């Protein structure tokens, strides 16, 4: 089982486009990733060894690589080396103790005398790094300011717009934008084209994107309420970036990464250049607290098993918890259609829910029509989570169980959703 941090790191390097300068460390970790997919554990160990020995490798590259080596030794039933490299991973900064505790790759260490001390040390180090107070959450909007400086220059000199965005925006990037670029953008040329082909939209959202910084008190208040309901919540910095409509929100080890240009609707905003699904997804700045809680839920969820059911539950719970905390339902546009066709949707969902293909239910913007919205997996997941919460007497315990969900099929059964739907 690969850690969440590692997944994002590998996605970052795997999706990096030729337009982005790649270091030797980037190339080495890409090679290690490719080898690991073949499940050739000795070769993967050797490849990740090259990463940790590379002087240009970032500390987090080394930490994750050490952890990966420990996992591969675990799969090879070599406890001494698994233990040694796990210790090195912790020394290098890998302190995701929650994942470490349940990672099946390290099962052979659970009977090792040093396991409790290693896990306890990781937990202590992790605890020191945690943001424990909502008011201490950083809300970083410097990338928005850099974008508008670059945009003004690019509009004056469209022939050199790509170079301008690279120099004045991406080269000035926060760590959040760096991760967002690698995960979602991947190409200066791609980004520049998407920005310049919507001049009326981007010219009209400057004021609303700059208003995001003023939303921090409301976001902090929502996070404080979340903490009251779920004391174990793990906060992270929030980075607002302009992404050219590639993603409204994602997460990385840097924090929550928010596409500010997708949450910039408001008075005077011209959406005529957006597609149908973009117009429907374009959220106003006033929804920022619920959107931030939705993304924070993703950073506090249990592991995924790769099934459509688990995917839908993870998104549905994010919507449900955001509504519980703020009183505002994100993705509310899905619910009129969902409520009117719930039995029909459930029948279709059941046919696919235990598979890994989510193409008909999640991130399926090409299927959006005026009559039927896309992303209806969010709705199905929301309804299952809502059913579980409604039938559980201890609401604090119910929320904790939802956020630490490990068995999607068992949770569906516990919710009673399917049985209740048949009785309607």
CATH number, domain with residue 16: 1.25.40.10
For residues 195 and 267, membership in a common domain is answered with yes
For residues 113 and 181, membership in a common domain is answered with no
What is the token pair recorded at 240?
Answer: 């607002």
Q: Is 56 exposed, middle or buried (0-12, 13-18, 19+ CB in 10 A)?
A: exposed
- Sign, CA dihedral 56-138-251-182, equals negative
For residues 274 and 227, membership in a common domain is answered with yes
Structural domain total, the chain: 3
For residues 18 and 119, membership in a common domain is answered with yes
**Lateral strand order in the sheet of 139-140:** 139-140, 238-241, 255-259, 249-252
Per residue of the chain (424 residues), give pLDDT as tens: 444 334 333 333 333 333 344 567 777 877 887 888 788 999 999 999 999 998 878 787 888 899 999 999 999 999 999 999 999 999 998 878 878 888 889 999 999 999 999 999 998 988 887 788 999 999 999 999 999 999 999 999 999 999 999 999 999 999 899 889 988 898 999 999 999 999 999 999 999 999 999 999 999 999 999 999 999 998 989 999 999 999 888 877 788 899 999 999 999 999 999 999 999 999 999 999 999 999 999 988 877 788 999 999 999 999 999 999 999 999 999 999 999 999 999 999 999 999 999 999 999 999 999 999 999 999 999 999 999 999 999 999 999 999 999 899 999 999 999 999 999 8
For residues 335 and 392, membership in a common domain is answered with yes
For residues 268 and 376, membership in a common domain is answered with no
For residues 157 and 212, membership in a common domain is answered with yes
For residues 186 and 330, membership in a common domain is answered with no
Q: Of the candidates 78, 105, 129, which is a domain's last residue? A: 129
Q: Give Cα 325 distance to the centre of its chain.
A: 19
Is pTM beyond 0.95? Reply is: no
Q: Of the candidates 81, 106, 129, which is a domain's last residue? A: 129
For residues 313 and 417, membership in a common domain is answered with yes
For residues 244 and 333, membership in a common domain is answered with no
For residues 139 and 117, membership in a common domain is answered with no
What is the token pair recorded at 371?
Answer: 């009559």
Q: Of the candidates 129, 160, 182, which is a domain's last residue? A: 129
For residues 267 and 312, membership in a common domain is answered with no
Q: Containing domain of residue 58, as a range?
A: 4-129
Q: Is 329 exposed, middle or buried (0-12, 13-18, 19+ CB in 10 A)?
A: middle
Q: Identify which of 22, 18, 19, 26 has the alpha carbon closest to the alpha carbon of residue 10.
A: 26
For the beta carbon of residue 23, count every other beta carbon within 10 angstroms: 14
């Amino acid at each position: 089982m690969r850690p969440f941090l590692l997944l994002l790191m590998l996605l970052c390097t795997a999706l990096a486009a030729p337009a982005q300068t790649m270091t030797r460390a980037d190339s080495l970790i890409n090679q290690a990733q490719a080898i690991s997919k073949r499940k050739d554990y000795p070769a993967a160990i050797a490849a990740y060894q090259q990463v940790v020995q590379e002087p240009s490798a970032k500390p987090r590259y080394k930490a994750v690589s050490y952890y990966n080596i420990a996992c591969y030794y675990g799969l090879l039933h070599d406890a001494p080396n698994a233990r040694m490299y796990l210790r090195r991973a912790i020394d290098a900064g890998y302190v995701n103790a929650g994942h470490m505790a349940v990672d099946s790759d390290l099962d052979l260490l659970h009977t090792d005398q040093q396991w409790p001390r290693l896990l306890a040390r990781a937990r202590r180090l992790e605890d020191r790094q945690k943001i424990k107070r909502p008011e201490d959450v950083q809300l970083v909007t410097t990338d928005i300011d850099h974008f508008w400086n670059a945009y003004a220059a690019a509009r004056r000199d469209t022939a050199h717009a790509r170079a301008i965005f690279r120099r004045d925006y991406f080269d000035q990037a926060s760590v959040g934008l760096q991760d967002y670029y690698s995960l979602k953008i991947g190409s200066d040329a791609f980004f520049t084209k998407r920005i310049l082909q919507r001049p009326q939209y981007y010219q009209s959202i400057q004021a609303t994107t700059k208003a995001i910084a003023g939303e921090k008190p409301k976001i902090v208040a929502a996070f404080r309420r979340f903490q009251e309901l779920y004391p174990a919540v793990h906060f992270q910095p929030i980075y607002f970036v302009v992404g050219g409509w590639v993603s409204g929100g994602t997460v990385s080890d840097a924090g929550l990464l928010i596409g500010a240009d997708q949450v910039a609707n408001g008075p005077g905003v011209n959406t005529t250049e957006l597609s149908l699904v973009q117009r429907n997804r374009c959220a106003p700045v006033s929804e920022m607290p619920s959107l931030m809680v939705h993304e924070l839920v993703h950073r506090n969820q249990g592991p995924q098993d790769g099934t459509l059911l688990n995917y839908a539950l993870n998104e549905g719970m994010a919507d449900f918890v955001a509504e519980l905390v703020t009183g505002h339902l994100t993705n509310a546009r899905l619910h009129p259609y969902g409520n009117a066709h719930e039995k029909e949707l459930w029948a279709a969902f059941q046919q696919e829910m235990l598979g890994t293909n989510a193409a008909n239910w999640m991130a399926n913007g090409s299927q959006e029509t005026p009559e039927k919205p896309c992303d209806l997996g969010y709705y199905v997941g929301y309804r299952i989570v809502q059913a579980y919460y409604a039938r559980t007497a201890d609401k604090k315990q119910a929320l904790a169980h939802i956020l630490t969900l490990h068995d999607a099929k068992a949770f569906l059964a516990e919710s009673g959703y399917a049985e209740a739907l048949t009785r309607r």
